[in-house]
C-alpha cells in the first residue's frame, strides 16, 4: 500500500449565504466545515523539506471562506462542490477532496444536520 498525505481542516465555522426557505435567504448563516484533501504520493519528508513539497493548510480555510464570496448558494451541496473545485484548481497534486458541512442554524439539541461530499479529481 502506498503512502498518502491528507491535509485537514476540522470544525471551521464561516457565515455563508445559503438556503431555499424564506427564513434562510437574505442573510448569511453559520456553516461548520470539515475538509480533507488527499495529495498525490509525495517523497519522504525530512526536517529540511520545503513547503513546496506539500500544500499550505490555509488554502483549505480559504476555500471555505473567501473563495465562496458573497454569492447565494441554494444548496449546501453547491457550497461543498465549490470548495472541492477551488482546491482542485489551486493545486494539481490534490487527488480527492472530502467536504463535510453542518448547518448550525438547524440544530435544536446539538445534533449535526448536513452533508458530506467526496469528489475525486476528474
**CATH value at residue 29:** 3.30.1130.10
pLDDT of residue 49: 84
Who wins on pLDDT, 121 or 52? 121
- Strands 114-120 and 94-103, bridge-based pairing: antiparallel
- The C-alpha atoms of residue 59 and residue 38 are separated, in whole angstroms, by 13
Confidence class for position 1, pLDDT limits 50, 70, 90: low
Percent of the chain with pLDDT over 70: 98
CB within 8 Å of 7: residues ≥ 6 apart = 36, 37, 39, 54, 55, 57, 60
Q: Is the pLDDT of residue 41 over 80?
A: no
pLDDT value at residue 40: 87
Say how many domains are in the chain: 1
**pTM score, two decimals?**
0.91
Higher pLDDT, 2 or 57: 57
How many residues are listed for the chain in this entry? 122
Tell me the mean pLDDT in the region 32-60.
88
Domain limits for position 97: 5-42+51-120
Amino acid at each position: 500500500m502506498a503512502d498518502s498525505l491528507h491535509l485537514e481542516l476540522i470544525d471551521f465555522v464561516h457565515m455563508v449565504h445559503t438556503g431555499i426557505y424564506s427564513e434562510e435567504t437574505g442573510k448569511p448563516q453559520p456553516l461548520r466545515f470539515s475538509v480533507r484533501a488527499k495529495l498525490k504520493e509525495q517523497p519522504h519528508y525530512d526536517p529540511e523539506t520545503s513547503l513546496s513539497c506539500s500544500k499550505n493548510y490555509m488554502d483549505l480555510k480559504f476555500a471555505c471562506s473567501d473563495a465562496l464570496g458573497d454569492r447565494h448558494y441554494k444548496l449546501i451541496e453547491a457550497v461543498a462542490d465549490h470548495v472541492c473545485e477551488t482546491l482542485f484548481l489551486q493545486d494539481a497534486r490534490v487527488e480527492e477532496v472530502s467536504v463535510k458541512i453542518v448547518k448550525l442554524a438547524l440544530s435544536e439539541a446539538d445534533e449535526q444536520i448536513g452533508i458530506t461530499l467526496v469528489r475525486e479529481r476528474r
